[in-house]
Amino acid sequence: MSAPIITAIHIAPGSRLPMKAVESVVADAGKGLIGDRYHGTRHRHVSVQSATSLEEASARFQAAIPAEGTRRNLTLSYGVVPFKPGVRLTIGGVELEVVRIAAPCRLLDDVLGKGAAHALHQRAGSVCRILVGGEIRLGDQVFWDPSWQEPEVDTSL
């Protein structure tokens, strides 16, 4: 199977403001995504999720959870996003390092409906810092440290 690709890029200029879909974004090393609310923060530069996890969460939630609904920046076409701190991801020329697993925000229950945050538990992706900046585009392939093994995921409802 080929490497996953970036299928969605979303940014929001401020907290609680709507996410905006873009075709590309500039990743500013040590600072974040230009135009996003977290640009300039210490470690929360970019959040990454996968379509596979969104599908699993949607099944648990019994309603579609759109990529922008989770307020994550980057969505991969498939797989489980690495969540172990220190694992490095490469997207085009951009290099990210996982800081922590992303916890779903309780705000999601207000926006998507009661139970959305619970459905996304352990499926909300990862928070990363940007080590090497550059442009991230839709369709860019995503690679990570091969020593990280994708865990078995319980997909039962």
Looking at residue 151, its pLDDT comes to 57
State pTM to two decimals: 0.89
Looking at residue 1, its pLDDT comes to 67
Looking at residue 11, its pLDDT comes to 97
Looking at residue 146, its pLDDT comes to 78
Looking at residue 57, its pLDDT comes to 87
Looking at residue 63, its pLDDT comes to 87
Q: Which residue positions in the chain have pLDDT lower than 50?
A: 155-157
Query: 121-140 b/e with 16+ CB inside 10 Å = b?
Result: eebbbbbbbbbebbebbbeb
Domain 6-144 has CATH 2.40.50.140: no
Looking at residue 150, its pLDDT comes to 59
Looking at residue 98, its pLDDT comes to 96
